[in-house]
């Protein structure tokens, strides 16, 4: 029996009842391909409903043709869309979950072009967007009327499809928020001038929706408690707007941030460097004055955290979206008290929002089934039980072993080191990356639940393979740091990131970090050393520090580098070194760049695979598969995915 009495307390909102206070918030999955709901999106959302979530809010649906902010946004502008929305509503309702849809217009926040051509963006006034460098066209009254009617028409379609309610997206600097913001809305007509004028657009949207839907249909609004930007809505301005709306809406959903700036956008999907539940104080302030339920979203990834928020009466519902991407069964597991079985989100942002920013379907580095439910949602039992030997206990090996055992194989995992986890054990030592170690904890639990036999400090060679006599061997032996060849003169200390993190090397006061991959390793190493008081120069082999990272992780890290006074040099490749200098070459110009008075050169220059067994296994004619970094050094996402994929096929 669960002890989460607040989390599993039902909540009545207008014409529907949430069975618990856990919400999957609206988030773009990039699963739809033509602007309509498809089978992949239905399967994705049904998995979360089956897992026990009380409320699902669909990803944004455009309410007008001018709302196409990406090439794959859902559109609710035509009755032809109703069939798709009905399919997801029916799938979700089968499991007792309530379904709302987000109604959306980005205003000036246009993220993508249409076939390479930039769309015309519209806003209350011609005030430019900093992040996307968009100069919008000021809305005229006839187009405002069309957009307002578009909200109501979209809501009518949602109701016809069987969806329970809608959420007006007035958060993150999108069109309704642009009307509310006195620094963006410079109008002197009825839609501007003072607080009531700036609220007029949102009031008209609410009224048009109410006029076109039944009385029991829920109408909520999502707002940013603060836009966390100099030109954005302040906390007081947001609070005032919510107070003026009163009970004209059925609930208020509170988040933080704005799409309009790089710094403000970090809060849209805050990375692990941000504190858990940090948005709660903004929701609590609104909750103290609100006459309607208050929802809150922002780094609430554990049921214990959500229970504490609710028990303190800071909010009525908690958005736990990434927690549900990582483990759709989290609500059910919490209900039955199986907290140790929950695959906790580590807020890496790599395959959820990271995929969206690249235009790829959503997934999760820990749970690659997410977004791939149609392919991996139900794994068949193995036709023949095999004796499977997994060599290597990093993320690839652990995932492969767990999945193979779940399918009925007899699986034994061998790890050469004393601890499982591979490079994840090092990743968690970097500043702001401690949660990354959660991937190890989660995978270890999967091994336990699947009944995998684990041998630590156990190296595998030909003799061991002969002794074990496996039917199949999965090689997941990982990688080691790659040290490139370059001219060296003198006695400059040259070390790799692994040695520094393991405490094997003590570096000097003046440090140059060479960051070949432009990922989190170079950034993390630079921060780690700067926090110890060292002078650090970060030389990046790309256009920016963190170029290969998810955007919000990169932008948060860029702020941290700046605060620490770390000098970043971009377009750099390592050329050579002498006793106290590092020689670089500008990748584009080819010109030399020299850094003098250097004590230590730290190499973050990638990895080389460790694969000593594949040739042996080929000679022995044993079925084998090389996965993860042993195949080619990449990231934890590829490692875990390949572990799943191979184990699903053997």
Which residues belong to the active site? 174
Q: How many CB atoms lie within 10 A of CB 6?
A: 17
Contact predicate 447/413, CB 8 Å: yes
**Which token pair is 516?**
């070949």
| Closest of 63, 152, 58 to residue 107, by C-alpha | 63
Query: DSSP assignment, residue 156?
Result: H
Measured torsion, CA atoms of residues 496, 502, 506, 510, in degrees rounded to the nearest 10: 50
| Closest of 166, 158, 170 to residue 201, by C-alpha | 170
Q: How many CB atoms lie within 10 A of CB 311?
A: 12
Q: Please state, in angstroms and rounded to a whole number, the distance separating the CA atoms of residues 502 and 24.
A: 39
Q: Please state, in angstroms and rounded to a whole number, the distance separating the CA atoms of residues 538 and 523.
A: 8
Measured torsion, CA atoms of residues 155, 159, 165, 168, in degrees rounded to the nearest 10: -10
**Coil, helix or strand at residue 572:** strand
Contact predicate 151/63, CB 8 Å: yes
Contact predicate 202/168, CB 8 Å: yes
Please report where in the chains the tokens 């009327």 appear, as a residue: 145
**Which token pair is 460?**
């595998």
Contact predicate 252/13, CB 8 Å: no
Query: Nearest 5°: CA angle at 172, between 170 and 178?
Result: 60
Please report where in the chains the tokens 């990169």 appear, as a residue: 554
Contact predicate 187/193, CB 8 Å: yes
């Amino acid at each position: 029996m669960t002890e989460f009495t607040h989390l599993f307390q039902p909540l009545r909102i207008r014409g529907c009842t949430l069975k618990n206070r856990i919400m999957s918030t609206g988030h773009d999955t990039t699963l739809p391909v033509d602007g309509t709901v498809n089978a992949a999106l239905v399967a994705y959302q049904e998995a979360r409903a089956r897992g026990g979530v009380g409320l699902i809010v669909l990803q944004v649906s455009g309410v007008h043709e001018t709302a196409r902010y990406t090439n794959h946004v859902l559109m609710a502008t035509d009755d032809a869309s109703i069939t798709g929305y009905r399919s997801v509503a029916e799938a979700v309702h089968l499991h007792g979950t309530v379904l709302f849809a987000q109604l959306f217009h980005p205003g000036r926040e246009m993220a993508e072009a249409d076939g390479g051509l930039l769309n015309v963006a519209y806003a209350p006034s011609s005030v430019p967007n900093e992040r996307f460098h968009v100069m919008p066209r000021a809305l005229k009254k006839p187009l405002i009327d069309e957009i307002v009617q578009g909200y109501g028409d979209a809501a009518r379609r949602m109701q016809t499809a069987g969806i329970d309610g809608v959420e007006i997206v007035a958060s993150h600097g999108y069109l309704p928020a642009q009307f509310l913001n006195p620094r963006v809305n410079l109008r002197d007509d009825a839609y501007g001038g003072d607080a009531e004028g700036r609220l007029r657009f949102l009031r008209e949207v609410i009224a048009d929706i109410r006029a076109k839907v039944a009385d029991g249909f829920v109408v909520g609004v999502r707002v940013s408690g603060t836009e966390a930007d100099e030109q954005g809505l302040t906390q007081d301005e947001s609070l005032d707007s919510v107070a003026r709306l009163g009970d004209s809406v059925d609930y208020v959903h509170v988040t933080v941030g704005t799409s309009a700036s790089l710094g403000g956008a970090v809060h849209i999907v805050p990375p692990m460097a941000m504190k858990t539940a940090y948005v709660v104080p903004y929701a609590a302030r609104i909750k103290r004055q609100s006459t309607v339920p208050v929802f809150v979203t922002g780094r609430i990834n554990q049921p214990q955290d959500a229970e504490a928020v609710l028990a303190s009466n800071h909010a009525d519902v908690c958005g736990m979206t990434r927690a549900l991407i990582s483990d759709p069964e989290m609500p059910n597991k919490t209900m039955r008290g199986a907290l140790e079985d929950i695959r906790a989100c580590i807020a890496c942002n790599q395959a959820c929002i990271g995929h969206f920013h690249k235009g790829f379907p959503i997934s999760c580095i820990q749970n690659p089934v997410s977004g791939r439910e149609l392919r991996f949602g139900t794994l068949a039992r193995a036709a023949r039980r095999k004796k499977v030997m997994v060599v290597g206990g990093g993320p690839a090996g652990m995932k492969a072993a767990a999945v193979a055992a779940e399918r009925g194989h007899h699986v034994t995992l061998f790890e050469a080191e004393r601890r499982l986890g591979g490079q994840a054990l090092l990743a968690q030592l970097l500043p702001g990356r401690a949660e990354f170690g959660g991937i190890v904890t989660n995978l270890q639990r999967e091994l336990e639940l699947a009944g995998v036999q684990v041998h630590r400090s156990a190296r595998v060679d030909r003799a061991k393979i002969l002794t074990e006599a496996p039917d199949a061997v999965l090689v997941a032996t990982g990688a080691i740091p790659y040290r490139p060849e370059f001219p060296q003169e003198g006695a400059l200390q040259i070390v790799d990131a692994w040695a520094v993190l393991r405490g094997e090397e003590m570096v000097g006061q003046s440090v140059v970090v060479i960051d070949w991959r432009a990922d989190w390793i170079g950034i993390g190493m630079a921060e780690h050393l700067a926090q110890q008081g060292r002078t650090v120069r970060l030389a990046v082999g790309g256009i920016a520090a963190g170029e290969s990272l998810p955007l919000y992780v990169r932008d948060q890290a860029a702020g941290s580098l700046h605060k620490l006074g770390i000098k970043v040099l971009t377009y750099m490749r390592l050329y050579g070194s002498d006793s106290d200098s590092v020689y670089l070459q500008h990748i584009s110009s080819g010109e030399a760049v020299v850094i003098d008075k250097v004590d230590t050169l730290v190499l973050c220059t990638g990895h080389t695979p460790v694969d000593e067994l594949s040739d042996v296994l080929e000679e022995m004619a044993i079925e084998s598969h090389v996965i993860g970094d042993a195949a080619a050094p990449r990231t934890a996402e590829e490692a875990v995915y390949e572990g799943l994929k191979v184990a699903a096929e053997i």
